[in-house]
Amino acid sequence: MMVASEYGSKESLSIPVSAAKSLDLSEDQTTVIRPVHSSILGEKYCFQVINSENNHCFGCSSAAERDRWIEDLRRAAHPNKDNCERTEYSLSLWVNEAKDLPPKKRYYCEVHIDGTLFARTSNRAVGKSVQRSSQAADGGSGAAGTGHGGGSSGGCQLFWGEFFELDNLPPVNQITLHLFKDEDPKKKRHSKDDSILNPLGSVALNLAEIKGRAYQEKWYPIVPYKPPGTSVIKDQIGQQASIRVKSKFKILKILPIERYKEFAEYITVNYVDMCSSLEPLLNVREKEELAGALVHVLQSIGKAKEFLTDLGSAEVQRLGENEALIFRENTLATKAIDEYMKLVGQKYLIDTLGDFIARLYSGGESCEVDPQKCSASDLPINQRHLKETCADVVKRITDMHDSFPAELNEIFSRWLSDCEDRGQTDIGHRLISASLFLRFLCPAILSPSLFGLTQAYPEPNTLRTLTLTAKVIQNLANSTLFGEKEEYMFFMNEFLEQHWEPMRGFLQKVADPDSEIAMARFDGYVDLPLRLAVLHNLLVDIISVMKQDRIDNLHPLPLILNQITEFLGQEAQRIPVSSIHGKPKPTYLLPKDLPKYSPLQNSMQQLPMDSNSNQGKERQRKQVQRAFSVPNRPSRHQRQPIKRQTSKEELPTQCQDDNQDQDPCLEISSPSNAIKSKAPAAKVLWIKQNNSNEPYQKIGQAIEETSILDRHAQELAELRLGVEQVTERELEMAKRLEDFIVLTQDQNTQLQAEVQELRNLLATREEQLASATFRLGVIEEEREEDERKLNVAVAAVERMNVLEEQFAGLLKDVHQFYAVNADGIKNTYINT
């Protein structure tokens, strides 16, 4: 535990970690608790407690311990934190490089937020452009030295490649980068010039430009520093000096945790289906962000191990016999295992490789073994250095520390068990090796600054050592020897064969569920409301731009996300939802007056029975026959019998039904009136005349009664027909909708299968292209070698021709000499 009395001070005092418990945080509501970047105090895993009276910095042994302390202290200051609405501010910043700075100097940058120092880069010397990995050169996007005049083409003279993740920030108004020249500490202490403490220049980031999920990269011109109270600006860096910065600033509104309840339940139960539906629609960056958000949410609710187990098993099933591609593609499974191992394995990584990386950064021996890049006299020495370096790393890994994550042991054992059940034990071992070495240990060796092992980007000599070491360790984990592609590494094959057994034993131990080796469990803290808010915002951004049919296939996720969005305000982005899923399914509404006429109601009028007929016995009227156009459908309720009224009784003018809601019956005029208006019939002699009108009254009443009942029956039949037609149309539309949904799902499944086949074909073609490119490179090297030899041969031929000409000239001279001598001897002989 370390305490600093002033923010930014490097003076520390060791005290027990329990000292933080003595802080009284309940009284002061302005207390701020946040992490402190390691570049400020020179110590990792520090956090700061600021209130109106004190300002202390505390140091922990790991990131997980620091996060746990921060959360405990925040809950002490705000006990009801999870049930309150809050806003979080965070800044992700890559300070990549600078150009056109004065030479032969060393420089560093400081990150200031609203005038407060939050981080600083390491100091770097201006020089020639260095070879560096694309991952560090542009913050992981793989475009080093491209765009904005960067890279060697833009005259880059200084490279940092350092990443800063600043969370739990206060409300931000201004972000500024100050450029400083690194001076000798003795010169600083004895100098009377205060300007030596001032920055050379600064860069201000526009918050409006860098807000959002995506990084914004730009070359920013460095504005020379103007001392307060002066009107003259002393330019010490030149007008063309600039810094390349890649950044994003996020403002996240977090709701009370109860608002995310349904969302969390959906993620917990349906994460497999959600991932399988979304993965074909995502690009690489979205997969990385989604996998990271899901891992943190599921880790907090205790489902991360099941999530990783399911994704690993699905990866094996998807690839089939193409085991060489396991965890080599940009899939959700690959990105999720990357994020999870960084989360739970940080302490293990530091315990295993921390000292090794620190030793290399402090200035290790050269391990360059490529004959084209080192002298023949240095080659044996460098080969020995590389063997010693790799042996050190292998021993650190295989001598399993008690900090190995128990969560990874459980996941690996489940993977291996699933593969053994399928008869694919070898694939199970490759799955474990690929996840632990290909995705975790070897990338950490190759780029230690991206895994929290160090901050500074390595120097060229150190970077080359790390690259060669990572190659050897990866081949050792894969049980693969070096081939013709890297002939200069042939000498390491003997080393690989000697260490295969220890490596296999290590892989067996990490996947053994009954291992007796002590392992460590993750003891860090994950802020669940924060992570749910991050996941919600991410899914809304991803889904809202999709086509409507794809959004409908994700039902009910868009509705759940929109329910949360309603609490974020009107300006918050929403997902367009079709009416089928956005509103309740329409139901059939009965006509307003249908109950008055429905046979299901017991409101049918009961007519009195003739007192003189059948002496009180009831006689049921025959049911009115339906028209042929009305489908015959049996009634679910028995109709009430209708009683016929005799002609002796007068018809009532109003209904006698007890149902008060029914309309009164129509008034019916007496039949006798109509009969009286007719002319009297002619007399017939054989028929006895009867002046009584009683028979006519009986006949008229019977006819009128039958007419009314038939008319009502016809109306009921028409209503039934209308109801049945509406119902049939509704059922037909529902069936069509179901058929359309099934057809759409089948087409979507077919398209996903075709896309997957194309992806597999693309991966195969990429491998073939890589192989062809490698072969082309070898052929090109051979061609260059043959061309060189040919040039040597041509030069030798030309030299031979010159020598032959010279020799011919000499022969000619000799012959002339002999001829002259012969003539002289002849003349002498004659004279003699």
Q: Where are the alpha helices (DSSP H) in 629-693?
A: 671-676
* Better pLDDT: 643 or 31: 31
d(CA 506, CA 502): 6
The residue that leads in pLDDT, 515 or 636, is 515
Distance separating alpha carbons of residues 245 and 176, to the nearest angstrom: 11
Q: Residue 661: pLDDT above 90?
A: no
Query: Binning pLDDT at 50, 70 and 90, where does residue 642 land?
Result: very low
When pLDDT is averaged across residues 270-290 and rounded to a whole number, the result is: 91
Could you report the per-residue pLDDT of 737-762, keeping only the tens digit for each? Answer: 877 887 887 788 888 888 888 888 88
| Whether residue 39 has pLDDT greater than 50 | yes
HEC sequence for 755-804:
HHHHHHHHHHHHHHHHHHHHHHHHHHHHHHHHHHHHHHHHHHHHHHHHHH
Average pLDDT over residues 553-582: 87
Torsions phi, psi for 747 (to 5 deg): -65, -40
Segment (H or E) for 734: helix 694-831
3-state secondary structure 113-134: ECCEEEEECCCEECCCCCCCCH
State whether residue 266 is helix, strand or coil. Answer: helix
Cβ(328)–Cβ(338) below 8 Å:
no
Banded pLDDT at 422 (limits 50, 70, 90): confident
Q: Could you tell me if 181 and 107 are in contact, meaning their C-beta atoms sit under 8 angstroms apart?
A: yes
For the cut 60, the answer to whether the pLDDT of residue 5 exceeds it is no
Highest mean pLDDT among 295-304, 646-655, 811-820: 295-304
Instruction: Say if CB 223 and CB 134 are below 8 A apart.
Output: no
- Long-range contacts, 265-274 (Cβ 8 Å, 24+): 266/556, 266/557, 266/560, 267/294, 267/297, 267/298, 267/535, 268/298, 268/301, 268/303, 270/557, 271/298, 271/303, 271/307, 271/310, 272/310, 272/314, 274/554, 274/557
Q: How large a percentage of the chain has pLDDT more than 90?
A: 32
Q: How many alpha carbons lie under 13 Å from residue 566 in its C-beta half-sphere?
A: 8
| Low-confidence winner among 16-20, 630-634, 748-752 (lowest mean pLDDT) | 630-634
Confidence of residue 58 (pLDDT cuts 50, 70, 90): confident
Asked if pLDDT for residue 328 goes beyond 60, the answer is yes
d(C-alpha 609, C-alpha 553), whole Å: 65
CA–CA separation, 337 vs 637, rounded Å?
A: 64
The pLDDT assigned to 330 comes to: 85
Cβ-count burial 736-768 (b if 16+ within 10 Å, e if not): eeeeeeeeeeeeeeeeeeeeeeeebeeeeeeee
CA atoms of 572 and 20, how far apart (whole Å): 39
Spell out where 416-461 has E strands.
none
* Contact between residue 146 and residue 96 where contact means Cβ atoms under 8 Å apart: no
Distances (CA, A) of 578 to 553, 554, 562, 827: 11, 12, 13, 126
d(C-alpha 39, C-alpha 34), whole Å: 15
Count helices and strands (H / E) in the chain. 23, 15
764: CB partners within 8 A, 6+ apart: none
Whether residue 717 contacts residue 628, with contact meaning beta carbons closer than 8 Å, is answered with no
Output 12 or 30, whichever has higher pLDDT: 30
At 23, list the tokens: 């802080």
The answer to whether residues 246 and 139 touch, using CB atoms and an 8 Å cutoff, is yes
C-alpha closest to that of 470 among 397, 398, 404, 390: 390
pLDDT, one tens digit per residue, over 776-823 is 877 877 777 777 778 788 888 888 888 888 888 888 888 888 888 877
Residue 512: both structure tokens together? 């053994």
User: Are the CB atoms for 714 and 626 separated by under 8 Å?
Assistant: no
Q: Give Cβ neighbours of residue 267 (< 8 Å, ≥ 6 apart).
A: 274, 294, 297, 298, 535
Which pLDDT does position 22 carry in this prediction?
65
SS (H, E, C) 173-233: CCEEEEEEECCCHHHHHHCCCHHHHCCCEEEEECHHHHECCCCEEEEEECEECCCCCCCCC
pLDDT digits (tens, 9 = 90+) for 449-485: 989 899 898 988 999 999 999 999 999 998 889 988 8
At 516, the pLDDT band (50, 70, 90 cuts) reads: confident
For tokens 């209904």, the residue is 655
- Split at pLDDT 50, 70, 90, the class of 73 is confident
Q: Best-predicted range by mean pLDDT among 17-31, 516-530, 810-824? A: 516-530
Phi, psi of 68 (to 5 degrees): -65, -40
- Measured distance CA(425)–CA(351) in Å, rounded: 30
Query: Which residues is 125 bridged to in the sheet?
Result: 106
Report the pLDDT averaged over residues 7-34: 58
Q: Which of helix, strand or coil describes residue 554?
A: coil
Dihedral sign for Cα 314, 450, 140, 303, please.
Answer: positive
Select the highest-mean-pLDDT range: 73-87, 190-204, 625-639: 73-87
Q: What is the pLDDT of residues 96-154, one digit of tens each?
A: 999 888 887 889 999 999 999 999 999 988 875 444 444 444 454 433 333 333 443 44
Residue with tokens 């593969």, as numbered in its chain? 419
Question: How would you class 511 by CB atoms within 10 Å of its CB: exposed for 0-12, middle for 13-18, buried for 19 or more?
Answer: buried
Q: What separation in angstroms does the CA of 483 have from each of 384, 488, 492, 493, 704?
A: 20, 9, 11, 9, 109
- Categorize the per-residue pLDDT at 592 as very low, low, confident or very high, splitting at 50, 70 and 90: low
**Lowest mean pLDDT: which of 69-83, 115-129, 707-721?**
707-721
Answer whether residue 26 shows pLDDT above 70: no
- The model's pLDDT over 333-352, given as tens digits with 9 standing for 90+, comes to 999 999 999 999 998 999 99
Instruction: Return the residue matching tokens 């990084």.
Output: 215
- Structure token pair of residue 558: 């868009």
Distance CA(728)–CA(731), nearest Å, equals 5
Least confident of 59-73, 517-531, 725-739: 725-739
Q: Which range, of 145-159, 314-328, 497-511, averages the lowest pLDDT?
A: 145-159
Question: Which of 646, 652, 644, 699 has the alpha carbon at shortest distance from 671?
Answer: 699
Whether omega before 556 lies within 30 degrees of 0, making that bond cis, reads: yes
pLDDT value at 254 more than 90: yes
Asked whether the predicted pLDDT for residue 701 surpasses 60, the reply is yes
Is residue 599 a contact partner of residue 641, using CB atoms and an 8 Å limit? Answer: no
Q: Is residue 539 within 8 Å of residue 573, measured between CB atoms?
A: no
CA atoms within 13 A on the CB side of 206: 7
In the 8-state DSSP scheme, what is residue 520?
Answer: B
Residues 50-66, buried b or exposed e (16+ Cβ, 10 A)?
A: bbeeeebbbbbebbbbb
In DSSP terms, 201 is beta-bridged to 179, 224
CA neighbor of 554 nearest in space, from 317, 279, 754: 279
Catalogue the long-range contacts made by 237-240 (C-beta closer than 8 Å, 24 or more residues apart).
237/101, 237/102, 237/179, 237/200, 237/201, 238/100, 238/101, 238/102, 240/99, 240/100
pTM above 0.85, yes or no: no
Q: pLDDT-based confidence at 189, cuts 50/70/90?
A: low
